[in-house]
């Protein structure tokens, strides 16, 4: 059936049995695709019935469905005309792993970060009112994203402005016990019944006209509120002015359609609380939803990865091991993450010292200010958050940490390009948004040994915040836990001595820079290759000595050029009066880079060894043709 679905309109004539069959085909398709190419799995398996019910009840794309994050939106892609392209999911030139407005008219809002759907949907609802248009707006959000503070800002505003909107809380943590299931369904039928709600409104109006009507209304309201709080978990939402419906079985298509159709007719803000199972419909993901949240290609029968195990540990593991080792030596070290203990490597420390690891949920702003409070009292907090997610806490980094010169360490995983997740997850701007902050030290290790030593040095540093950024990927050598060494702040390291051309590479860009130097040597160009190690500060004496011995400078970084390492070097050249040196930069472009395999993206962007060589040859040709540069 699935291959014949051209648009959601095809769902609206289907029977419940047909929708159930379609749900099975969707799950089978998703599992096969992720097994073949990798991707997010468990979240999408849990929203199949919800997706079908939404598109059956609502007239999309006129009606707007706003999905939070997009992890759970693979079924949405499949029934909105993208089945034939689904095999290209997350591949270069193919479908995005998230929602994109320019990919489909059914993608009302694009997002790769959590906790945004309610705010965006409210904006759409208000725009509808101001333009006198007629369409419905639905926002879907997972219970995990409910830890984000932005959600409560939206809920607070929703109750105030009273726009007609439906929020769907997809709760895949809570379970409905069998003895409660019948009661909850009964209550849902009562409170979602149009006759009941009409009667309630009429009673309210009638009592208001009676003598002492306001007192009667208050009494009726108290009785209603009391019953809700006894029988239903929605008192919080009701207190905000949002009508609550639930909990509802999120895998029962018939019940979902019934509740959606009922709530669709109601005015004001409404919230439907669904209970689903993350990974539903595939035994392996149901048994371990965390493991199968996202996956590399795997064998469907066994669940085992198709690729051979890496010969070297991932840099995330290197960080986690080093942090545990340091934490055992220093009782001041506290680790903090935002809903990513495994992704950031803090699960390693949590296994041995759980009382010193805090997962605060999808609440990056809180995580930073929480760390600031710890630092005020002499602790050494390490905030481990992906580069792209830390963007959400810039104000807290500035106001709560940097201005007070607090000793907070930011361990920034997934710096640079991350590959298949694309622009919402590329760590393309951390050198820029951190570099502008006074007093911030920014380190970027070129390998696993430097990562260990930089983490150690950051914790030993007592003069303000330190950021340590490193990419997604594996170590360059087998695990070797050498004794920690403290690194002088701001000091670059010469990797290869040469002449004329100075190549300054930061972080993981050192590896392709070294390969480019080998290629250049075959053409008679012997550049000096330097591991910058620091984006800030830059040791003025060390850099001045490097400038003095060369005729041209080439900087290489996996960050946008504006505000990045290359601009900092150019400024230093200017400040030291070296206007005679030619300088060029290799960096991420001034645009959002698409998704694709990292080596493919690096090649296209001229950031691989061949691209670096080409840029170096061009630069050397320029200075040889320009007498002033001599």
pLDDT of 193 reads: 55
Query: Among the options 90, 278, 356, 613, which is catalytic?
Result: 278
- For residue 618, indicate whether it is catalytic: no
Q: Any catalytic annotation for residue 364?
A: yes
Longest dimension (CA), the chain: 100
SS (H, E, C) 442-473: EECCCCHHHHHHHHHHHHHCCCCCEEEECCCC
> Could you give the C-alpha distances from 579 to 487, 537, 539, 615, in angstroms and in order?
30, 21, 19, 20
Residue 61: predicted pLDDT: 97
In three-state secondary structure terms, 1 is coil
Comparing CA positions, the residue from 104, 34, 110 lying closest to residue 67 is 110
Please tell me the CATH code under which domain 495-629 is placed.
3.40.50.920
b/e per residue 176-188 (b: at least 16 CB within 10 A): beeeeeeebbebb
Q: Which residue has the tokens 């930069």?
A: 585
Beta strands at 137-142 and 269-275: parallel, antiparallel or unpaired: unpaired
pLDDT of residue 124: 98
Query: In the prediction, which pLDDT does 184 show?
Result: 42
Q: Write the CATH number of the domain with boundaries 2-174+249-285.
A: 3.40.50.970
216 token code pair: 């009667």
Catalytic residue among 364, 448, 450, 557: 364
Q: Which of the residues 77, 100, 185, 392 is marked catalytic?
A: 392
Mean pLDDT by runs of 10 across the 630 residues of the chain is 94 95 96 91 93 97 94 94 94 93 95 92 97 97 88 94 94 48 44 53 62 66 56 75 90 95 95 91 88 88 86 94 97 95 95 96 95 98 97 97 98 96 95 98 97 98 98 87 93 96 97 97 95 98 96 97 97 92 96 96 97 96 64
Q: Strands across the sheet with 409-413, in order?
A: 357-359, 333-337, 380-386, 409-413, 466-469, 441-443, 534-536
- The CATH class for the domain spanning 315-469 reads alpha beta
* Measured CA angle at 621 (ends 619, 624), to 5 deg: 110
Angstrom distance (rounded) from CA 505 to CA 497: 14
Task: Please check whether the two domains, 2-174+249-285 and 495-629, share a CATH topology.
Answer: yes
* CB of 58 closer than 8 Å to CB of 138: yes
Per-residue pLDDT reduced to its tens digit, 611-621: 999 999 999 99
How far is Cα 407 from Cα 414, in angstroms, rounded to an integer?
A: 22
In the prediction, which pLDDT does 130 show?
97
37 among known catalytic residues? no
The domains of the chain are located at: 2-174+249-285, 315-469, 495-629
């Amino acid at each position: 059936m699935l291959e014949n679905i051209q648009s959601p309109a095809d769902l609206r004539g289907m029977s419940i049995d047909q929708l159930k069959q379609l749900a099975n085909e969707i799950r089978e398709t998703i599992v096969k695709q992720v097994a073949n190419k990798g991707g997010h799995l468990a979240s999408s398996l849990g929203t199949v019935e919800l997706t079908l019910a939404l598109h059956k009840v609502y007239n999309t794309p006129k009606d707007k469905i706003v999905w939070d994050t997009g992890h759970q939106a693979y079924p949405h892609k499949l029934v909105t005309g993208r089945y034939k392209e689904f095999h290209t999911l997350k591949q270069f030139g193919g479908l995005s792993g998230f929602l994109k407005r320019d990919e489909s008219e059914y993608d009302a809002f694009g997002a790769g970060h959590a906790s945004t759907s309610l705010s965006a949907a409210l904006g759409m609802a208000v725009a509808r009112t101001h333009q006198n248009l007629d369409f419905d707006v639905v926002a879907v959000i997972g219970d995990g994203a409910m830890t984000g503070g932005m959600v409560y800002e939206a809920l607070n505003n929703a109750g105030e402005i009273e726009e007609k909107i439906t929020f769907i809380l997809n709760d895949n943590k809570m379970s409905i016990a069998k003895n409660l299931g019948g009661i909850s369904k009964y209550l849902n039928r009562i409170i979602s019944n149009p006759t009941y709600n009409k009667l309630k409104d009429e009673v309210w109006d009638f009592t208001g006209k009676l003598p002492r009507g306001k007192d009667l209304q208050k009494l009726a309201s108290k009785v209603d509120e009391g019953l809700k709080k006894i029988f239903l978990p929605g008192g919080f939402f009701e207190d905000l002015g949002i009508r609550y419906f639930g909990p509802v079985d999120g895998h029962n298509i018939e019940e979902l359609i019934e509740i959606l159709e009922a709530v669709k007719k109601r005015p004001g803000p409404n919230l439907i609380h669904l209970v689903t199972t993350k990974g539903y419909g595939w035994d392996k993901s149901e048994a371990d939803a965390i493991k199968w949240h996202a996956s590399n290609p795997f064998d469907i029968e066994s669940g085992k990865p198709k690729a051979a195990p890496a010969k070297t540990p991932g840099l995330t593991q290197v960080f986690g091991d080093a942090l545990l080792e340091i934490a055992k030596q220093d009782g001041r070290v506290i680790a903090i993450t935002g809903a990513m203990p495994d992704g950031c490597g803090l699960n390693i420390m949590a296994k041995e010292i759980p009382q010193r690891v805090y997962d605060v949920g999808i609440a990056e702003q809180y995580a930073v200010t929480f760390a600031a409070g710890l630092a005020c009292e002499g602790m050494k907090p390490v905030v481990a958050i992906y580069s792209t997610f830390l963007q959400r806490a810039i104000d807290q980094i500035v106001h709560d940490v940097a201005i007070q010169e607090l000793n907070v360490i930011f361990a920034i995983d997934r710096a640079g390009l991350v590959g298949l997740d694309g622009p919402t997850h590329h760590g393309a701007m951390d050198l820029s948004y951190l570099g502008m902050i006074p007093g911030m030290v920014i380190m970027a290790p070129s390998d696993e040994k430097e990562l260990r030593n930089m983490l150690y040095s950051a914790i030993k540093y007592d003069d303000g915040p330190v950021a340590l950024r490193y990419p997604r990927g594996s170590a360059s050598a087998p695990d070797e836990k050498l004794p920690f060494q403290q690194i002088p702040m701001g000091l670059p390291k010469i990797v290869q001595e040469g002449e004329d051309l100075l190549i300054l590479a930061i972080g993981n860009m050192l590896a392709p820079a070294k390969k480019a130097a080998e290629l250049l040597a075959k053409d008679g160009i012997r550049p000096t290759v330097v591991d910058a190690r620091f984006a800030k500060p830059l040791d003025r004496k060390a850099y001045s000595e490097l400038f003095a011995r060369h005729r041209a400078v080439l900087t290489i970084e996996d960050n946008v050029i504006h505000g990045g390492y290359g601009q900092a070097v150019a400024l230093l050249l200017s400040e030291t009066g070296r206007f005679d040196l030619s300088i060029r930069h290799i960096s991420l472009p001034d645009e959002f880079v698409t998704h694709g395999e990292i080596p493919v993206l690096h090649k296209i962007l001229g950031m691989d060894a061949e691209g670096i060589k080409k840029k170096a040859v061009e630069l050397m040709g320029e200075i040889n043709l320009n007498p002033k540069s001599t």
